[in-house]
């Protein structure tokens, strides 16, 4: 039997199957230290592995101080939140966008498409969401279709636009994030560019009296001694904010908006921004993505078996594989030489040279890249092998059949490819460029295509795979060790 997965109550990525958020309890690594909300009144600090909770649309959890509410708008041609309580209205012809094969961020479904010159946005008038004298977190993805300038409203709620601490706004001012409560504001330090997706978050911590801005999961600014928000009425607006007497609008796309009445940790926000996919292969939905993007997968000729943690997927060789679509920052995807990481448990049934992990930009083409596999020679047991674009390669240690081995591969332009086995650094290539296709890619496990210019053998893998994580960043040694210690 597989090991029992550790569990924790948390409202991160609590996603209905029909949206971009998962329904099951999962283990996620996001940073060096994570915090967890446990039961109803206890706050505990836990090691780097953070465990996600069962998603319930908009959740309500009792705590010692107040009630925590989590509201999620998937915006997949829907104006309602996932609980169908906070229902929005599209204003001035606002509509939805469709994802494309080369869009640098993709998740399940669609999102808001807004034109600022037409004053377009979405408003949620009732019921009122009370954020007064509370901690809260606002998270979303944004994409501007033109160069940022002036004020571009993302999220707002306002009782009195000229009254201190009574008007809440999150926006882009000029080319940087900006947020506050009127005369109690915080400005980001990073520059945002057009035609790129960004994950943005604004946290107000009532206990510490801090405002914090995050960009792509990384803290962008922090302000201490910030008085709490005190607005006691007002609609929520997505794509528009009111700053003093000026109403401003966003020009482009907004997707996956979430409002939570607690201060989320830096680790939780990093996970939301950079966990590109997580596949546990556990029942009742073994091929679903348990990460924030809902990139659910499909299998052919594979079966679910007992795994390292609960269940795993087992491949039998040729024509036995798993695939999922929606990866923009991995080898051979949209970006060239951008960081990414892949981590998984493997348990080979055969040491035949084979491909375990590959990426491709089309299911009808062999334009693909074999990232990880097994290499064997006559009379020699299999070794793990990792490969960049054609070259270089890392020949890893020997492994055994019938034994679970944890393998992590990270990449950055500075460090090149780095291989970790069972949480221990094995070797790195050093600085090396990584090619790209310019397309959102498919993740394929078990082997699907014969890829050209590859040293890893084009052959079907025979064995099991479990707990697959894909990140759009180079995870740390501590995070690798945490994943290998589950």
Give, for all 486 residues of the chain, the pLDDT tens digit.
444 433 332 333 333 333 333 333 344 555 543 333 333 223 333 334 433 333 233 444 333 346 899 999 999 999 999 999 999 999 999 999 987 888 888 777 789 999 999 999 999 999 999 999 999 999 999 999 899 999 999 999 999 999 999 999 999 999 999 999 999 999 999 999 999 999 999 999 999 999 999 999 999 999 999 999 999 999 999 999 999 999 999 999 999 999 999 999 999 999 999 999 999 999 999 999 999 988 999 999 999 999 999 999 999 988 999 999 999 999 899 999 999 999 999 999 999 999 999 999 888 777 889 999 998 876 677 899 999 876 789 999 999 999 999 999 999 999 999 999 999 999 999 999 998 989 999 999 998 888 875 667 888 999 999 999 999 999 999 999 999 998
pTM score of the predicted model: 0.85
CA distance 283 to 286: 5
Alpha carbon dihedral 190, 191, 193, 198, in 10-degree steps, equals: 20
Kindly list the distances between the CA atom of residue 436 and the CA atoms of 129, 175, 275, 337, 362, in Å, as whole numbers in the listed order.
44, 28, 20, 8, 13
Instruction: Give CA–CA dist 266/278, Å, rounded.
Output: 19
What is the model's pLDDT at position 452?
A: 73
Confirm if 204 and 196 have CB atoms less than 8 A apart: no
Q: What number of other Cβ atoms are within 10 A of residue 41's Cβ?
A: 10
Distance CA 321, CA 287 (A): 12
Residue 283 is encoded by which pair of tokens?
């029942």
Cβ count within 10 A of residue 62:
11
3-state SS class at 46: strand
Residue 126 neighbours by CB distance under 10 Å = 10
- Ranges of beta strands (E only) in 261-296 are 275-279
Q: What is the model's pLDDT at position 43?
A: 33
Among candidate residues 378, 384, 386, the one with its CA nearest the CA of residue 397: 384
Residue 378 burial by Cβ neighbours in a 10 Å radius (0-12, 13-18, 19+): exposed
Q: What span, in angstroms and rounded, lies between the C-alpha atoms of 398 and 80?
A: 53
What separation in angstroms does the CA of 281 have from each of 27, 191, 411, 469? 12, 39, 25, 12
CATH 2.60.120.200 residue spans of the chain? 71-261, 274-483
Count Cα neighbours of 13 within 13 Å in the Cβ-side half-sphere. 29
Q: Dihedral of CA 162/168/172/178: which sign?
A: positive
Write down the pLDDT at residue 406.
98
The predicted pLDDT at position 379 comes to 66
User: Which residues lie across from 424 on neighbouring strands?
Assistant: 421
- Extended beta strands in 125-251, E state: 136-144, 151-158, 167-173, 176-180, 185-187, 197-205, 210-215, 218-223, 236-238, 240-243, 246-249
Residue 458 corresponds to which tokens in the numbers above?
A: 């084009």
pLDDT reported for residue 339: 97
How high is the pLDDT of residue 29?
Answer: 56
CA distance to 138, 300, 302, 312, per residue, from 297 (Å) = 29, 10, 12, 14
> Domain 274-483 is of which CATH architecture?
Sandwich (2.60)
The answer to whether 468 and 407 have CB atoms below 8 angstroms apart is no
CA 364 centroid distance within chain: 27
CATH of domain 71-261: 2.60.120.200
Tokens of 8: 């924790």
245 C-beta neighbours (distance < 10 Å), count: 7
Is the separation of the CB atoms in 477 and 395 below 8 Å? Answer: no
Cα gap 205→260, rounded to integer Å = 12
Tokens, residue 308:
């390292």
Please list, in sequence order, all residues whose beta carbon lies within 8 angstroms of the beta carbon of residue 420, skipping any fewer than 6 positions away: 406, 407, 408, 409, 410, 426, 477, 480, 484
Residues 380, 194: Cα–Cα separation, whole Å: 52
Could you tell me where the beta strands, DSSP code E, fall in 440-479? 441-445, 462-471
Question: What is the predicted pLDDT for the residue at 344?
Answer: 98
């Amino acid at each position: 039997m597989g090991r029992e997965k550790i569990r924790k109550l948390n409202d991160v990525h609590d996603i209905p199957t029909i949206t971009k958020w998962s329904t099951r309890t999962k283990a996620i690594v996001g940073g060096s230290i994570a915090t967890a909300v446990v039961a109803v009144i206890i706050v505990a600090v836990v090691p780097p592995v953070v465990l996600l909770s069962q998603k319930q649309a908009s959740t309500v959890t009792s705590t010692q101080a107040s009630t925590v509410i989590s509201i999620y708008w998937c915006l997949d041609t829907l104006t309602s939140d996932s609980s169908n309580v906070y229902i929005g209205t599209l204003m001035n012809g606002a509509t939805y966008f469709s994802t494309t094969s080369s869009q640098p961020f993709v998740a399940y479904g669609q999102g808001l498409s807004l034109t600022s010159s037409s004053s377009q946005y979405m408003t949620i008038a009732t019921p009122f969401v009370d954020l007064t004298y509370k901690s809260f977190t606002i998270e979303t993805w944004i994409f501007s279709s033109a160069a940022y300038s002036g004020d571009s409203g993302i999220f707002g709620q306002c009782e009195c636009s000229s009254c201190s601490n009574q008007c809440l706004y999150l926006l882009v001012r000029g080319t940087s994030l900006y947020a506050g409560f009127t005369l109690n504001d915080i400005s980001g330090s990073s520059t945002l560019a057009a035609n790129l997706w960004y994950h943005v978050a604004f946290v107000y911590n009532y206990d510490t009296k801090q405002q914090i801005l995050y960009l792509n999961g990384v803290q962008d600014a922090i302000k201490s001694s910030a008085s709490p928000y005190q607005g006691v009425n007002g609609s929520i607006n997505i794509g528009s904010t009111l700053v003093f007497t000026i109403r401003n609008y966003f020009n482009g796309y907004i997707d996956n908006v979430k409002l939570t009445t607690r201060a989320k940790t830096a680790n939780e926000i990093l996970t939301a921004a950079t966990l590109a996919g997580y596949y546990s292969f556990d029942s009742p939905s073994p091929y679903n993505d348990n990460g924030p993007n809902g990139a659910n997968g499909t299998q052919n000729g594979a079966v679910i078996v007992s795994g390292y943690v609960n269940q795993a997927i087992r491949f039998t060789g040729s024509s036995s594989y798993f695939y999922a679509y929606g990866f923009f920052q991995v080898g051979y995807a949209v970006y060239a030489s951008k960081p990414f990481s892949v981590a998984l448990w493997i348990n080979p049934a055969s040491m035949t040279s084979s491909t375990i992990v590959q990426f491709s930009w089309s299911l009808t083409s062999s334009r693909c890249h074999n990232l990880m596999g097994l290499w064997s020679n006559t009379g020699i047991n299999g070794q793990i092998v990792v490969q960049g674009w054609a070259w270089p390669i890392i020949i890893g240690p020997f492994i055994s059949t019938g034994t679970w081995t944890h393998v992590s591969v990270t990449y950055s332009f500075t460090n090149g490819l780095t291989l970790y086995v069972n949480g221990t650094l094995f070797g790195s290539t050093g600085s090396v460029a990584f090619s790209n296709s310019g397309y959102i890619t498919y993740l394929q496990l078990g082997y699907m295509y014969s890829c050209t210019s590859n040293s890893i053998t084009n052959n079907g893998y025979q064995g099991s795979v479990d707990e697959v994580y894909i990140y759009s960043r180079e995870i740390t040694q501590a995070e690798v060790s945490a994943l290998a210690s589950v």
